[in-house]
Amino acid sequence: MQTPNSLRGMVTSPHHLASQAGLDVLKDGGTAIEAIVATAAALAAVYPHMTGLGGDSFWLISYPNGQTIAIDACGRLARNATLDLYAQAGHSVIPWRGGLAANTVAGTVSGWEAALKESAKQQPSLPLDRLLRDAIHYASTGRVVSESEAALLKEKQAELCGNEAFRSFCIPDDIPWQEGEIQTSPILAATLRSLAHHGLRSFYEGDLAKGMAADLEAAGSPLRLDDFLSHRAEVKAPLDVQTSMGTLYNMAPPTQGAASLLILALEDRLPQCDAPESYEHLHGLIEATKQAFRYRNREIDGRSTAEEDIRALLQDPSALDEMAARISMTEAFPWTEETQWGDTTWMGAIDSNGVAVSMIQSLYFEFGSGVMLPQSGLFWQNRGSSFRLKPSGWNCLLPGSKPFHTLNPAAARLNDGRVMVYGTMGGEGQPQTQAAVFSRYARHGVPLQEAICRPRWLLGRTWGQESTSLKLEPGFDPTVVQALQDAGHVIEQLPGMSSIMGHAGAIVRHANGRLEGATDPRSDGSVAAW
């Protein structure tokens, strides 16, 4: 399998049309940041089950001078979203669908806004209508419904048709959109045109924001216009950890970026084997995942102390050594931890100047809360469903707080001068797939595209189901599988190239300027390069 190479610029995403939209921006002289905005907007039009303007996003931007910044575009819980509100509605947990699930501000567009301000520091900006051009085209003139979108609409029809706007748009006459159909979203196109004309801040202020707030209230959401007006994305320092291969970067809480870094930092301290997909390689990463997830499930949420604590841990080699020492290389640690859900889209770009972007954007569940806003054509996220209906403790429901996020974009600066951006969709699987791709490529020298195509594993959740088994795609050495079972891992075999393993991607810039990129055959994506 061939890894695409180029010199002038590269974009990868889980849909080929979105990747092409980003590449065309690079060809028009745009930065990698501008290319990602175009890619993200196009994904909202052509891959609406996975992402859209009604969700959140997180960015890592790595500059050739060695600086890396993060953008936290996570929306906060509505001020009206109180424990009493859910108690009066008869809920002991927040529902996954419906108005009460649509309880956090959508931060995605604010992330675009903040990122474009960073881009403007590098060179004059392309017009906003140029960046949104392809998304507007696909929304207004039509795009082809993908297999995954059609399958999920059919599978989730019963729980999604409660919202009248959603039902009438996506499931007309009780028949979900079919794979291969051509569908348009003229209201979404109008929203994108409005943003292009009035600016991205108009998503949170002005007539567009007022219309969205009214639609949300009508759908039973606790969000109000004041929640929109107060929202801003945050530009901040990323998390980082030093390993024998280089410096790794990810997002600070409320994301699970800490877990992704911990897995690789702990694995770096375990006995190493030259062979990828050996027992030592797989078992080590799986057991590191367990330690990282135990920390995540107790310590990572929207509290400021969560960020302070994980920054301190990642910079403390002795503390990491102590955590790694808990891992047995011969026995599997018993696993009963609660899984974390979520599906999303990851995209990456690197331009000819060496600016590298890793970005992830999501509605949380497929089609988010299932609430469609009739005046704007948006599907609203259900990220706030992850809050616990408790007055205190981990990820508790506090109006104005940020929810725990599975989203986390990854990047690395390797010791030999390579810069790598990588990531995947898949909730619980994100840190695990990141670890698989990075370790295969950076530690074991597996070609980039092959590192993504090779069989993957997943500890925990499958798509829409809770599970604590270790799931394996076909293709692992039977002796390795047997050794994992002998160590105490509960193995579940899955079909090959299963979409529940995520939609991964990666781009690497070598010290001489050569770019190589990869996309996941489990998705509808492609690498676009010139």
Strands 491-493 and 246-250: unpaired
Active site annotation includes 344:
yes
Structure token pair of residue 461: 């959740």
Q: Single out the residue of 180, 138, 141, 151 nearest to residue 50, CA to CA.
A: 151
Q: Single out the residue of 175, 2, 24 nearest to residue 528, CA to CA.
A: 24
Q: Apex CA 445: angle with CA 442 and CA 450, to 5°? A: 100
Strands 470-472 and 491-493: parallel
Selecting among 344, 424, 433, 519, the annotated active-site residue is: 344
Q: Which residues pair with 221 in a beta bridge?
A: none
Residue type at 56? D
Question: Phi and psi of 251, rounded to 5°?
Answer: -90, 145
Spatial contact of 98 and 369, defined as CB atoms under 8 Å apart:
yes
Q: What angle do the packed helices 317-324 and 257-267 form, to 10 degrees?
A: 80
Q: Apex CA 339: angle with CA 336 and CA 340, to 5°? A: 160
Q: Single out the residue of 288, 223, 297, 285 nearest to residue 253, CA to CA.
A: 297
Question: Phi and psi of 460, rounded to 5°?
Answer: 110, -135
DSSP 439: I
- Residues serving a catalytic function are 344
